[in-house]
């Protein structure tokens, strides 16, 4: 009887320990989303990038180019950004009116040629925009860049 009680208690504690202590070992992620405007007007297309500032540099921390579609973007890759401060780079695109051929790897498609219409100041290392990703922080980050 005591052996069964001991065995049952041990299995229960082991199970609880695994559930509480088991995780994927990755740092916490913070999803980020928002609206992008240029001079107060919603933009249709472009990309947003979150680049780590300071000691947080590393391939797992840098976000890919996040598409802006109908003025909205959302960082959901692997659950969002890792904790830390990020420089935010923005490129706003507009169709040039010309078509170009784009390879999908399987076929050639015709697509609109896009022009960057936002200021280069916001698209590179000089961007003054920043975002602090931390637990409990606001996950909506709206962006409004001045006209070129």
What digits encode the pLDDT tens for the residues 17-64?
A: 444 445 556 667 888 999 999 999 999 999 999 998 876 544 445 667
Q: Would you state the pLDDT for residue 22?
A: 52
pTM of structure: 0.69
CATH architecture observed for domain 28-145 = Sandwich (2.60)
SS3 percent helix, strand, coil of the chain, rounded to 5, is 20, 45, 35
Q: Which residues contact 122 (CB under 8 A, 6 or more apart)?
A: 89, 90, 91, 128, 129, 145
pLDDT in tens, 65-97: 899 999 999 987 667 888 888 999 999 888 778
Q: Would you state the pLDDT for residue 26?
A: 63
Cα 68 to its chain centre, rounded Å, is 11
Locate the domains of the chain by residue range: 28-145
Sign of the Cα torsion 32, 36, 39, 42 reads negative
Q: What is the mean pLDDT of residues 94-119?
A: 83
Confidence of residue 16 (pLDDT cuts 50, 70, 90): very low
């Amino acid at each position: 009887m005591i052996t069964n009680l001991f065995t049952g208690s041990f299995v229960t504690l082991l199970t609880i320990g695994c559930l509480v202590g088991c995780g994927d070992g990755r740092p916490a992620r913070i999803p980020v989303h928002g609206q992008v405007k240029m001079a107060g007007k919603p933009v249709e297309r472009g990309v947003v990038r979150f680049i780590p500032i300071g000691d947080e540099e590393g391939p797992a921390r840098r976000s890919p180019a996040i598409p802006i579609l109908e003025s909205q973007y959302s960082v959901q890759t692997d659950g969002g950004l890792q904790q830390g401060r990020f420089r935010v780079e923005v490129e706003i695109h507009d169709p040039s009116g010309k078509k170009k051929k784009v390879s999908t790897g399987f076929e050639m498609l015709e697509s609109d040629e896009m022009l960057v219409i936002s200021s280069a100041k916001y698209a590179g290392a000089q961007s003054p925009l920043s975002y602090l990703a931390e637990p409990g922080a606001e996950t909506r980050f709206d962006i409004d860049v001045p006209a070129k």
